[in-house]
């Protein structure tokens, strides 16, 4: 199972607000040889670590592709750039953020490119809430815990809510 995290907290010049930008990015996946099998709804989340940045819109997609992990990551980074992502500083606001969260059961070191599974996936509510929505029984290859178990183990310090809720 291949999992991709999507996020944005700035509007993009061509597609507008973050949710519209994420929809446009997902619609572009097919041109990259990436088929979306399932997608969570959108969630709003406070920046991690806390800052005065705008809240993010996040989702997770389950995909399939013939691309290997390195080629898939390069395709995602290229799409970020096409959508106006500037990598000025770590943790900066962004028009599009695409993270390769997991590629089957592949495990690589945290300093590898790509690091799989994503080294902070298990500690991020903005990933685990949408992930639990689409594949609650997905099991983290390194820790053995399911997405539901990882989400339950989080503290309450990260703010996440479905975008369609008041």
What domains sit in the chain, N to C, each tagged with a CATH number?
2-162 (3.30.70.560)
Q: Does residue 118 surpass a pLDDT of 60?
A: yes
Band of residue 13 on the pLDDT scale cut at 50, 70, 90: confident
Of residues 78, 115, 79, the one with CA closest to residue 100: 115
From residue 4, alpha-carbon distances to 52, 95, 100, 101 in Å are: 26, 16, 5, 5
pLDDT the model gives residue 153: 95
pTM, full prediction: 0.94
Cis peptide before 33 (omega within 30 of 0): no
Higher pLDDT, 157 or 59: 59
pLDDT the model gives residue 110: 87
pLDDT the model gives residue 103: 98
């Amino acid at each position: 199972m291949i999992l991709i995290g999507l996020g944005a907290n700035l509007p993009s010049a061509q597609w507008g607000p973050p949710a519209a930008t994420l929809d446009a990015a997902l619609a572009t996946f097919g041109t990259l040889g990436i088929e979306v099998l399932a997608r969570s709804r959108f969630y709003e989340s406070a920046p991690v670590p806390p800052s005065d940045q705008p809240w993010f819109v996040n989702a997770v997609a389950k995909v399939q592709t013939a691309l290997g992990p390195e080629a898939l990551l390069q395709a995602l980074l290229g799409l970020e750039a096409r959508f106006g992502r500037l990598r000025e500083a770590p943790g900066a606001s962004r028009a599009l953020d695409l993270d390769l969260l997991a590629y089957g059961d592949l495990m690589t070191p945290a300093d590898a490119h790509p690091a799989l599974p994503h080294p902070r996936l298990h500690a991020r509510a903005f990933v685990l809430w949408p992930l639990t929505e689409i594949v609650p029984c997905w099991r983290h290859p390194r820790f053995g815990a399911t997405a539901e178990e990882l989400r339950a183990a989080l503290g309450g310090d990260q703010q996440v809510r479905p975008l369609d809720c008041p």
